[in-house]
Structures are given as structure tokens and as C-alpha cells.
Amino acid sequence: MKFQHMFWVSLFVFLFSCRQETSAIKDDASDRECFNLNDSTFTLGHPLGSIKSDSGQYYDLWESIAYSNDPDSQFITGSEKGELEAYIGEEKTKSGEHDIDGLSAISASSKHKELYYFAPDHPTDNELFVGSFNSNGAFEVKQTIVLEGARDDDWEDLTVGKCPNGKGSCVYLSNLGDNGLSSQDRYEVYYFPEPTIKQLNQNNGQDQASGVLKLTRQSDGKGYNSFEVEYEDGEGFNSEAIAAYKGKLFVITKRWKKHRENLLWEAKITGDKLSLKKLCQVPVGSGSEWEQVTAMDIKSDKMLYRTYRKIIEVPFDGSVKAVSGSNEEELSADTPNQSRSDEKYPECKSEGGKGYGNPFACSKGKSAQCAKQNDDYKEICRIVS
């Protein structure tokens, strides 16, 4: 009788502990998404462009986007090979052209309301361009800015925001592209104060229709300078999106090769280094290879980002409350993670054997564990018991 009693008590305890474990997985399971797409202002389908040439047909990739200073448009987006479009929400208001081969970055000036900065991903002579849109919606270059001596491994995006010293506005240029993942031996973000109209009107003796403003590396604020960029876990990532907002810099790394998610990072400045802290995953609504984030911008408590096939706008006030199942957790560059600097997260396997590398660090008080979700095994954050 005593044996039977102990058996039933043990069975009850076992079943109860299993129920608690299952409940914990369900309640605390989280992919740490930054936003819920149901809260998006809009999600606009934007198909890939294609161009026919003598050598065949190829994609014209749309890799740039920026909020507009034009009262007739909310944002503009551009393709690598010459197309420009302006929108208010999901409604296209203008179409135009540009002649910047390999266009990868657009940002509106905060100092000169009619001007925009454009940059190609692989400039010929470390060039980016300043210009405005004419009445036909075409971008006209007014000035070329050359960063003498800068590296141009893979310029992918630029943004305008407060200078590091908090005085005036600066242009930040991201040299964070890395299709080879760690093929670069140094990631950098260049920055320089927005030029004055007098600087933009000077020609520097160049025989061109537009002037050329040459900047050299200087630390006195008269030329350009740079931050060396470090990812918190030391791994190489590929980023095509950067945005400045409320004195902060944010970066999105795109879904690429071993990194299977689009990730949002916040930058923390320490001397001449920019340390990137991983915050959460940026939802795109699909796991397709074409749903990689290629550009972003932030303005008026809204974040705008695009993939090769989609444009999304979500509420964003400069802080993130990562969606964590039924819970929300505020994240920032100062949010401490559980210390795992010398450890590798276990790689979860699906039933088909496909690996899921953990795309995020768990916050303090949680640890990464494997759990079955939606008939698949993924790594999740769970409260440490």
C-alpha cells in the first residue's frame, strides 16, 4: 500500500513538473521580434525590377529608402540602375530617374531641406553625391563629395543625425557591407558635418558641371572621421541599413548565409569605436531569401525599412519593446545579457536536420534552450530556474 501511494505521488509530481515545463516553454518562448507586423502603419508589396540587355535579363535591385523633405511625398526609394519612386503611404505619387550606378543609399539633409545625399555601394573614387529633385522627379547632382583616403569596401547606406559631440548635424556613411561574411578586416562608419551652402557651391578647380568637395580625414570637425565598428559577439555580419534617431545610431543586419534573421542593433560610442548591441529580430513576414532588409530610415517616431520585395513602416520611438510571446521586454544597448562570452549556443535541429543558429543573445535571467514550436525545433529564451 505504501509502495502504491509513493508511486502515485511520484507520478503526480512528474506529470506536474512536465506540465510546468511545457507551460514555461509556451509562456516564455520568444523569437524576440522587435515589432508585431499587425501594428505596422503599412506593408507595401514592391516587386523586383528587371532589365533586359544584350547579355540577357537581370534584376534591378531596390536597395535604398529615405523619408522625404518634400511635402508632396512621404518617402522615396531607389533602384541600383536608375529608377526612383516617391510615395505617401502605399500610394505612389512620383516616378523619376537617377544616373548613379549601383545606388545603395539615400538620406534627406536636415540642414538643407531641398537636398539629399546619395551613395553607390562601390564608388569609383570614394564619392557620394548631393542633389535635389527637379519638377520631373529626376535627381540632379549638385555636388560630389570625396572622402580622400577612405576605404570603400562596400558602402551600403547613409543617414543624417546629430554629430557625435551633439553639435550640429552629421552625415554617417556605413561601410558595413560584407557579402563574404568577415571578408572585411575592418568595419567602419564614416561621418562628417553637413556641408554649408558655401562649401556646396565651391568647385575646387574641377572642370565639371557640378562642384567637387574634397574632405580629408581630420579629428577637428573640418573634414571626415570614422568609427571602427565592433559587433558584440565578434562575428561578421552583412549590413545594408543604418539610421540615426534621437542621438542614437541603429543598424539592421540582413538575413544572409549562416545568419538566418534580420537583426536590429543599437550602437554605443566609446572613443573611436562603435559597439553594436544586438536587440531583436526585425520581422519581414517571410523567410524568403528576397526578404533581406536592404535599407532603413527613422523619423517622427516611425521606422521605415525595405527588403527586395517589400516596404514596411512601424511605430518606433527610439526604444524597443521586443515581442516575447505574451510578454514585452524593453531592450537597449545598455540592457545586460546573460554572460556567455566564451560559450556557443547549442544548435537546434529540425526533424529534417536543418540547423538553426541562435540569432540573438538572451537577456539577463534567461538562457537559450531548444524547444519544439510549431512542429519544429528552434532555440528560444527561457527563464533560468
Q: What are the pLDDT digits (tens) for 96-155?
A: 889 898 899 999 999 998 999 999 887 678 899 999 988 777 888 889 999 999 987 778
Say yes or no to pLDDT of 296 above 90.
yes
Confidence class of residue 301 from pLDDT cuts 50, 70 and 90? very high
DSSP string for 258-282: TB-S-EEEEEEEETTEEEEEEEEE-
Q: What are the pLDDT digits (tens) for 233-276?
A: 776 678 889 999 999 999 998 866 566 688 999 999 988 999 99
Do the beta carbons of residue 228 and residue 186 sit within 8 Å?
Answer: yes
Q: How far apart are CA 139 and CA 153, in angstroms?
A: 25
pLDDT (0 to 100) of residue 357: 36
pLDDT (0 to 100) of residue 6: 54
Say yes or no to pLDDT of 376 above 80.
no
Cα atoms found within 13 Å of the Cα of residue 362, Cβ hemisphere only: 24
Q: How far apart are CA 224 and CA 295, in angstroms?
A: 23
Secondary structure (3-state) at 152: coil
- The domain ranges of the chain are 37-318, 336-385
Closest CA to 99 of 125, 72, 129: 129
pLDDT (0 to 100) of residue 325: 43
pLDDT (0 to 100) of residue 311: 95
Amino acid type, 165? N
19 vs 96 pLDDT, higher one = 96
Q: Give 339-348's long-range contacts (Cβ < 8 A, gap of 24+).
A: 345/379, 346/370, 346/379, 347/379, 348/377, 348/378, 348/379
Q: How far apart are CA 318 and CA 103, in angstroms?
A: 27
CATH classification (class only), 37-318 = mainly beta
Cα atoms found within 13 Å of the Cα of residue 253, Cβ hemisphere only: 29
Q: What are the pLDDT digits (tens) for 22-61?
A: 332 222 223 578 888 888 999 998 877 665 556 666 678 8
Confidence class of residue 206 from pLDDT cuts 50, 70 and 90? very low
Residues 346-367, mean pLDDT to the nearest whole number:
39
C-alpha dihedral (308, 312, 313, 314), degrees to nearest 10: -120
Give the chain's mean pLDDT.
75
Confidence class of residue 200 from pLDDT cuts 50, 70 and 90? confident
pLDDT (0 to 100) of residue 57: 60
**Continuous H helices in 240-329:** none
Q: How far apart are CA 123 and CA 102, in angstroms?
A: 8
pLDDT (0 to 100) of residue 111: 92
Confidence class of residue 158 from pLDDT cuts 50, 70 and 90? very high
249 vs 287 pLDDT, higher one = 249
Q: What are the pLDDT digits (tens) for 163-193?
A: 998 889 999 999 887 765 555 567 899 999 9
- What residues contact residue 239 under an 8 Å CB cut-off, 6+ apart? 156, 157, 174, 176, 177, 178, 251, 252, 253, 254
* pTM listed for this prediction: 0.75
Amino acid type, 19? R
Do the beta carbons of residue 333 and residue 266 sit within 8 Å?
Answer: yes
pLDDT (0 to 100) of residue 187: 85
Structure-block grid coordinates of residue 52:
533586359
Q: How far apart are CA 292 and CA 307, in angstroms?
A: 5
Do the beta carbons of residue 241 and residue 255 sit within 8 Å?
Answer: no
Strand order in the sheet with 263-270: 157-162, 169-175, 187-193, 225-231, 273-281, 263-270, 248-253, 239-245
